[in-house]
Structure 1
Amino acid sequence: MKCRNKIWLAVACLIAFVGYAQAVPPSMDSLTFDWKYEMDTPPNDLDLDSNGTDDWWDGGAPAVSNGLAIGGVEGEFFRTDYGGSIWRENVTGAAFTIEFSVQVLTTGTEGTVGTLGCYARNPATGGGPYFNVARSGQSLINTQATLDLGTQDNTDGQHVFRIAREEDGSVWAWRDGELLNPNGEAMLGDLAVFNNDILQIGDIWSTGHSGDYELDYLRFTSGAYAPYTNQAKLVSPAYGADMVETTAILEWAAPNEGTPTGYDVYFGTDPNVTNMTKVVSDQLVYQYDPEPDMANDTTYYWRVDALDSTAGTTVEGQVWEFTTIPAVPVVTVNPTGTTVPVGAIAQFSAEGTNTTDYDWYKYVDGINDTFVGSGSTLLLENIQQGDEGYYYCILSNTAGTATSESAYLMTERAVAGWTFEGDALDSVGTNDALIDVPTYVTDGIAGAQSLQVTVDDPNTFAIVPNVDELNQPTSFTVESWFKVNGFGNHQAIVSNRGGTLETGAIAGWVVYILPGGGVGLWANDSGWTQVNSTDPLTANEWHHVVATYDSGDVKVYINGEVAAEATEVSMAVNTYTDLYIGAGNNDATAPAFYLDGVIDEVNFWSYAKTNYEVAHMYTGVAGGTICVEPVEFDLNGDCTVDLSDLAQLSSSWMDCNLVPSCLE
């Protein structure tokens, strides 16, 4: 089924929509659900059940920023995988509950502006039920019917949706704690298929109808549960938070239903309420400041009961928990790698809790590392090539120390080059390539010879051992000349992709010749981002390709001119897999995507070349000229402003078409 005019966020849901009288399920706070994705970290980077596989697979997943998953471009979604996924392995039985918080936006880039959906997809049939949240209202959808569940405004802030399915197939839906079921009756439908399906959240493949939304969290569990509506609501610290300051103030809010006249608050280090201390007694307040300050590295439990003195009732709250920060420092901000020009200043920063001293070191061997400075920010002046390497910070206080992650310092320079003039030696540095059975042919572009690669022959392509200077996270340029016999398959010109076969994680980048004859740079950070040219190249002719990466900005050049570009392209660093020239699939047991032809003059720089530099690289070999960018007042389109442009302007000098000034 294709769902038109929707872009989804939610959960694969229901549905024949038959209502019948039945009691609402028992209540449970979603903070106690088995599986919680708070969007502080992309869910496709998490393995909450520790089975060695990421819980979610993504299709160009929504970006996660400041605790929100932000979607809106077609094809962006999170999805539990076909086998061994978090959903199919851990949500057992026919009963389940899903809750998510979302704000649907009024802006959009394509298709329906501002919707979000959830889809339970059956791998065998491709079909399944949907739950859709639109700008105005929400609906349950399946192949039999569409049931609209109100026309509330979902754009004015975050709204919490919950869908629960019981063992007998009855389905319940809530928005901000309010039951959406027509007449308050259970809905019965075909949700049973959901138990063995894939859960998709986001665009969910409703082609051309991507909407914009901000998803704050997604939580699910086995069993059907209603939300609490008459209990006090948690504000902070967040349930299960593990880095809470010892000076934190506990805060709560009034329940969705009822008007309490006061609250009782219980607090302590034992989850059993009978062992907690009552710290607030029948007071109409909404926060409690523990005194003295809480202890470090301690788990605290607390409960807020809502009192109604008029009715003489008490609504017991859920037991919430959090853990305070350790006494020793904890690194909260790690330094990041940087590439700077020779002679420039390099800067690294680190931050941590309970930290009194920051000491920086350059890695040597882990024992004799060199001390280079103190303070949360490290400034290194007059950087030279000899300063390249890994730097890290040790954070300390009287209770102990913590060590930051290491960050690589690189200078802007030519790193490697392979001319293939009868050998595979690095003409720039020390990164010589290895070829089992090299074939050099007298058909070089800038010299006498080039390397010939034979399809499916693992002995004919070049392998460069993995080194840090070829795996930079911030910027690089890779150049190559190539001539292929034909197209039809992906052909890797240079491949620097890496990952693990155990988890399926892939990192790095590949410069591909595409089946249709285009060229692209593919970058991976838990999912491929493709920046591809569209115009097909010509077989059996030399072509020049350059790909640049500069802090997320990507450009692909063909024969000296920009052929494709993109921004905000995320890329993880390949930390261990060798670089291939003329083949790909580096992270698998066998290479693939062989180049079908010859390759020459492969070069690598640690920084992004400019449009002008790339144009010089091409014309310096092939000759000719390239117009790097249009020139203002160039009337005849030759990329130069000269007398010919003046002559063209003069030919119509004083022409006038103003009425009535010039024309009667």
Structure 2
Amino acid sequence: KNPSPANGAQEVPTDEVMLSWYPAPDPENPDVPNPAITAHRLYTNFDNPDDPNLYFVAEIPNTGERAEYGPFTLETDITYCWRVDEVLPDVNDITGVLWRFETVKSTPIITGHPSYQVVEEGGTASFTVEVDSMSPPTFQWYRYVDGTNDIALTDSEKISGSQEQTLYLSNAQLDDEGGFYCIVSNLSGIPVTSQTALFGIKRRLAYWSFEDNNPNSVVPGSPATIVYGNPTFVAGPVGNAMNFHTGLDMLYTDPNETLSYFDICNYTMTVACWVNTTNARTWVPFVARHGESGQGWQLRQGSVAGRPTFTTRGTGNDDGTRGDRTIADGNWHYVVGTFDGTDQKIKKLYIDGVLSKVYSEDTGKLLRAGDEVSGLINPTLLPVGIAGRVTGDLENMTIETWNIAGAKYDEVEIYNYVLDAETIAQNYANITGQSVCVEQPENDLDGNCFVDLNDFVIFASEWLGGSLIQPNL
């Protein structure tokens, strides 16, 4: 009686398994062992758990105390059976009851999920899942559709490793964009599913040029745009722009088409716009995808009226450092926010092609040229808004008319990757016809963004000059 492992036990470790039990009780006094028992005969199916029969293993002398036998080294994911028959002198053995136990499940544990990928068109993406498994794992990769009709991948001209630890997608095209995940199985019979890794072609996701009186993004496949109020088309820095009136007008993407289209921006993104306003206010958006209640992002005026900031929810430094200059002066300004939540873990703000920086008021030294972030942007299902933001949820969306600041907008763009400083400066220079100094070189004494002979002349003219005041002795 009282076997160990107990009858019906689960998750029994497989190493050094000892079987133990108490002798059968005395029929005349059930509180004590039967003194007539001379030995215990142990039967198991440990050598072949699929065999319904038990086979003799050993005879263990009865001491009247708890008996044990072992150790055994067993396999994971197996139901084992055993029995102890009691030996009596001159009579048949007392056949014991059948005991069963299950060894520990070798359920695979995913220790590393596949990461999002953005690659150039025609490039190769790879997705890897890291697994700890007590028994040999098997892999099956899927392309996400809707959680019900997801597609089990097979190797083809473009796909390799569909049943391996690493999936490769070669010659990637726009129609390959989406989510990929892996189901890992092993002898436990308990599959586990990795997180879904988003995949995209490195590209501009949306572009509102406002040419030909068109309020929609002109990027093929991007969501349609809904016009709220009555914004008007006006002249902009490039052809047409749109003029939005305070508290009245904005644009937002069709919620039915937006759902996951911009989700890849939660990993890396760039949002850019040309804006012209005299309406200096705090915390009003230029371009936003929600951006409140811990969800989404927004490029907007910050804590100081008229100064831009880039807000990313859930990333650390959420609100973002305010820009180093105002844009609410009635002139066209190019405002850009970039976010990298994966590699560099930083977000940056650019104004008129130049990185916004923070300097010490006391020493003039550079304090930071961007905000460190600790993770990804928190997801949202809400649409992207221009000149305002949409909050709430899909069932009860709120157009925040009170946060619409009158302004003109042009060349509004969203990318699924980080534009570098040189590209941003070049965009500004191409539209304005003005040169941009991306980074002032050290020893550029005349401020022309070059270190040249003229800087040497300035340096030489001041050679041995000084203004050191020494004490009178």
Please state which band the TM-score falls in when normalised by the shorter chain.
Answer: 0.5 to 0.7
**1:561-606 deviations in whole A, cap 9, x for unaligned?**
1115112342334242111111125235423222322222111111
Deviation at 1:358, TM superposition (A): 1.4
Q: Which amino acid aligns with 2:384?
A: L
**1:481-510 deviations in whole A, cap 9, x for unaligned?**
1122322332111111378xxxx6x32211
**1:604-641 deviations in whole A, cap 9, x for unaligned?**
11110111111111122223222111224423221112
Rounded Cα–Cα distance in structure 2 between residues aligned with 1:297 and 1:518: 66
Rounded Cα–Cα distance in structure 2 between residues aligned with 1:383 and 1:444: 36
Deviation at 1:336, TM superposition (A): 2.3
Rounded Cα–Cα distance in structure 2 between residues aligned with 1:245 and 1:348: 35
* Pairing 1:494-533 to 2, within 5 Å after superposition: 494-497=287-290, 506-516=294-304, 517-525=306-314, 529-533=318-322
**1:363-403 deviations in whole A, cap 9, x for unaligned?**
35625443342322223334333332211112122443332
Rounded Cα–Cα distance in structure 1 between residues aligned with 2:210 and 2:179: 32
- TM-score w.r.t. the length of structure 1 is 0.47
Change (3 A) 1:335 1:428: same
Q: Which amino acid aligns with 1:425?
A: N
Match of 1:446 in 2: 238
Rounded Cα–Cα distance in structure 2 between residues aligned with 1:531 and 1:397: 46
Rounded Cα–Cα distance in structure 1 between residues aligned with 2:451 and 2:379: 46
> Which of these two proteins has the greater Rg computed from alpha carbons?
2
Rounded Cα–Cα distance in structure 2 between residues aligned with 1:569 and 1:498: 17
2:375 aligned with 1:570: yes
1:545, 1:556 within 8 Å by CA — same for their partners in 2? Answer: yes
2:125 aligned with 1:337: no
Change (3 A) 1:453 1:423: farther
Rounded Cα–Cα distance in structure 1 between residues aligned with 2:13 and 2:166: 26
Match of 1:636 in 2: 446
* Pairing 1:374-523 to 2, within 5 Å after superposition: 374-400=163-189, 401-421=191-211, 422-431=213-222, 432-455=224-247, 457=248, 460-465=250-255, 466-472=258-264, 473-497=266-290, 506-516=294-304, 517-523=306-312
1:329, 1:355 within 8 Å by CA — same for their partners in 2? Answer: no
2:125, 2:172 within 8 Å by CA — same for their partners in 1? Answer: yes
2:431 aligned with 1:621: yes
Q: Percentage identity across aligned positions?
A: 25
Change (3 A) 1:367 1:606: closer
2:355 aligned with 1:547: no
Rounded Cα–Cα distance in structure 1 between residues aligned with 2:104 and 2:261: 37
State how many pairs are aligned: 345
Q: Which amino acid aligns with 1:571?
A: L
Deviation at 1:650, TM superposition (A): 4.5
Rounded Cα–Cα distance in structure 1 between residues aligned with 2:439 and 2:244: 35
Deviation at 1:543, TM superposition (A): 1.8
1:437, 1:460 within 8 Å by CA — same for their partners in 2? Answer: yes
Q: Which amino acid aligns with 2:130?
A: E
Rounded Cα–Cα distance in structure 2 between residues aligned with 1:633 and 1:584: 45
Q: Which amino acid aligns with 1:418?
A: W
Rounded Cα–Cα distance in structure 1 between residues aligned with 2:170 and 2:404: 44
Deviation at 1:297, TM superposition (A): 11
Rounded Cα–Cα distance in structure 2 between residues aligned with 1:637 and 1:526: 36
3-state secondary structure, aligned to 1:468: coil
Higher relative contact order (CA 8 A, sep 6+): 2
1:479, 1:603 within 8 Å by CA — same for their partners in 2? Answer: yes
Structure 1 unmatched runs, 5+? 1-243, 250-266, 268-289, 299-323, 658-664
* Pairing 1:541-620 to 2, within 5 Å after superposition: 541-550=331-340, 551=342, 552-564=345-357, 565-587=370-392, 589-592=397-400, 593-620=403-430
* Pairing 1:253-264 to 2, within 5 Å after superposition: none
* Pairing 1:257-276 to 2, within 5 Å after superposition: none
Rounded Cα–Cα distance in structure 2 between residues aligned with 1:580 and 1:297: 57
Rounded Cα–Cα distance in structure 2 between residues aligned with 1:633 and 1:489: 38
Deviation at 1:293, TM superposition (A): 6.2
Rounded Cα–Cα distance in structure 1 between residues aligned with 2:15 and 2:339: 43
Rounded Cα–Cα distance in structure 1 between residues aligned with 2:77 and 2:116: 32
* Pairing 1:330-369 to 2, within 5 Å after superposition: 330-352=109-131, 353=133, 354-364=135-145, 366-369=149-152
Deviation at 1:555, TM superposition (A): 0.5
Change (3 A) 1:575 1:393: farther
Change (3 A) 1:385 1:526: closer
2:324 aligned with 1:535: yes
Rounded Cα–Cα distance in structure 2 between residues aligned with 1:497 and 1:630: 36
**1:147-200 deviations in whole A, cap 9, x for unaligned?**
xxxxxxxxxxxxxxxxxxxxxxxxxxxxxxxxxxxxxxxxxxxxxxxxxxxxxx
3-state secondary structure, aligned to 1:587: strand
Q: Which amino acid aligns with 2:208?
A: W
1:418, 1:600 within 8 Å by CA — same for their partners in 2? Answer: yes
3-state secondary structure, aligned to 1:390: strand
Deviation at 1:406, TM superposition (A): 1.4
- TM-score w.r.t. the length of structure 2 is 0.64
1:518, 1:534 within 8 Å by CA — same for their partners in 2? Answer: yes
3-state secondary structure, aligned to 1:619: helix
Q: Which amino acid aligns with 1:333?
A: G
Structure 2 unmatched runs, 5+? 1-10, 21-70, 80-102, 358-369, 467-473
Deviation at 1:339, TM superposition (A): 1.5
Rounded Cα–Cα distance in structure 2 between residues aligned with 1:498 and 1:491: 11
Deviation at 1:409, TM superposition (A): 0.9
Deviation at 1:643, TM superposition (A): 3.0
Rounded Cα–Cα distance in structure 1 between residues aligned with 2:454 and 2:315: 54
Q: Which amino acid aligns with 2:331?
A: E
Q: Which amino acid aligns with 2:165?
A: S
1:385, 1:410 within 8 Å by CA — same for their partners in 2? Answer: yes
Change (3 A) 1:325 1:451: farther
2:286, 2:386 within 8 Å by CA — same for their partners in 1? Answer: yes
3-state secondary structure, aligned to 2:319: strand
